[in-house]
Amino acid sequence: MSKKIGLFYGTQTGKTESVAEMIQDEFGSGVVMLHEMSQVDATDFDEYEYLIVGCPTWNIGELQSDWEGFFPELDNIDFTNKLVAYFGTGDQIGYADNFQDAIGILEEKISELGGKTVGYWSTSGYDFNESKALRNDKFVGLAIDEDNQPELTAERVKAWVAQLKKEFGL
């Protein structure tokens, strides 16, 4: 029996949702359960050993509104022994000074609460100035830029999911 993965995402324009669905498809049938943040409560996280967190960076380095509203609730979740992967959508050209900040903010908080980050992603091929999502010169997770590099999204998702399968031990 394969272990189930909970994928929790917020979306404003639908881009993050479509990437979440691509990730779900790449893992294969019945492995990843999608949870839209506007309909989530803290207990939904308890069902999973493996989590994927998806959040677009909104405005200037902010969390998407559903994640923003849920952020205080994170303190009520025990992330101990949970492997957590992150992906974000953002615009590296228009917002070069805070590209992918949202996943950096979420990763920092969830790590403080015991979550173990997996799925680090190379910054190679991106052009930005600063990001709160950087740890040791890598992104804390998959960085997607549908505004400037939509042709790379499918390939990036495929490579990242292959990496996650190893890191999750699937």
Q: What is the mean pLDDT of residues 27-43?
A: 95
Q: What percent of the chain clears pLDDT 70, i.e. is strictly above it?
A: 98
* Each residue's pLDDT tens digit, 1-25: 346 999 999 998 999 999 999 999 9
* Each residue's pLDDT tens digit, 67-123: 999 999 999 999 999 999 999 999 999 999 999 999 999 999 999 999 999 999 999
- Residue 125, pLDDT > 50, answer yes
Q: Average model confidence (pLDDT) for the chain?
A: 95
What pLDDT shows up at residue 3? 62
43, with CB counted inside 10 A (0-12, 13-18, 19+), is exposed
Amino acid at 106: L
pTM over 0.85, yes/no? yes
Q: Rounded to an integer, what distance in angstroms lies between the CA atom of residue 17 and that of residue 21?
A: 6
Tell me what percent of the chain is helix, strand and coil, each rounded to the nearest 5.
40, 20, 40
By the 8 A CB rule, do 35 and 9 touch? yes
User: Residue 39 is encoded by which pair of tokens?
Assistant: 């309909």
User: Residue 3 is encoded by which pair of tokens?
Assistant: 């272990």
CA quadruple 18, 143, 167, 49: dihedral positive or negative?
negative
